[in-house]
Amino acid sequence: MPENETFLDKKDEELVKLILKDKEDYRYLIQRYEDKLMRYIIRLCGAKREDAEDILQNVFLKVYQNLNDFDTSLKFSSWIYRIAHNETVSFLRKLNSRPKTINSETASFILNAVRADLNMEQEIDKKNLAEKINETVNGLEGKYRDVLVLKYLEDKDYREISDILKKPPGTVATLLRKAKEQLKKEILKHGYFSKDIKNN
């Protein structure tokens, strides 16, 4: 049996308890979260891979340093995502601003994910689609992009988003509703639908 097989079926909180007894087991937590958090960091701010790797390294260092303070009665994934969020924001502050862009793949994914919620079942014109969607999503304030990324790309529920962003669930719901409203308004304003469909 491979050495790490005993850790595969462990819940995060159980794994944390094992790590607190033996710090060598921390590598299993890294293996479990490195791809997820790398993707999240890139989606959140559009960082280059090298910058995202630096942020991720800081995240795992912070998690390691603060693992003793983690309340094992809480959800670990929310806790580690919050640290990743804070480290990403700190990195961006060092660049003197919130990100102006996220990559077009992320923007497209967000729009496709929320299309049904926006009651916009029409096809979007494929010509220059990536650029248009990118402009639209990047036109939103950072707080709106944050909730869209967490909800639709990271598949977090309201409670988890609340824990990650340290905002009440009601505020999260309001931010998400406003984000979708703004997204729909921008799409309609710029007329990104195929001409044939728009005229129907």
HSE-CB at 24 with a 13 A cutoff on CA atoms is 3
Note the pLDDT of residue 44: 84
Cross-strand partners of 124: 193
* Reported confidence tier of residue 82, pLDDT bands at 50, 70, 90: very high
How far apart CA 101 and CA 168 sit, in angstroms, is 27
Q: Please check the confidence at residue 117 and state whether its pLDDT lies above 80.
A: no
Global confidence as pTM? 0.76
How far apart CA 196 and CA 200 sit, in angstroms, is 7
The tokens of 130 are what?
Answer: 């990536």
pLDDT tens track for 134-147:
777 777 888 888 89
Give residue limits of the domains in the chain: 9-94, 104-198
Find tokens 């994934």 and name the residue. Answer: 77
- Quote the mean pLDDT of the chain: 80
* Reported confidence tier of residue 122, pLDDT bands at 50, 70, 90: low
Phi, psi of 68 (to 5 degrees): -65, -25
| Cα 8-13-18 angle, rounded to 5 deg | 70
The tokens of 190 are what?
Answer: 């710029």
CATH topology of domain 104-198: Arc Repressor Mutant, subunit A (1.10.10)
How far apart CA 42 and CA 59 sit, in angstroms, is 14
* Reported confidence tier of residue 194, pLDDT bands at 50, 70, 90: very low
Q: Please check the confidence at residue 182 and state whether its pLDDT lies above 90.
A: no
How far apart CA 190 and CA 182 sit, in angstroms, is 12
CATH topology of domain 9-94: Rna Polymerase Sigma Factor; Chain: A (1.10.1740)
pLDDT tens track for 34-47:
999 999 998 887 77
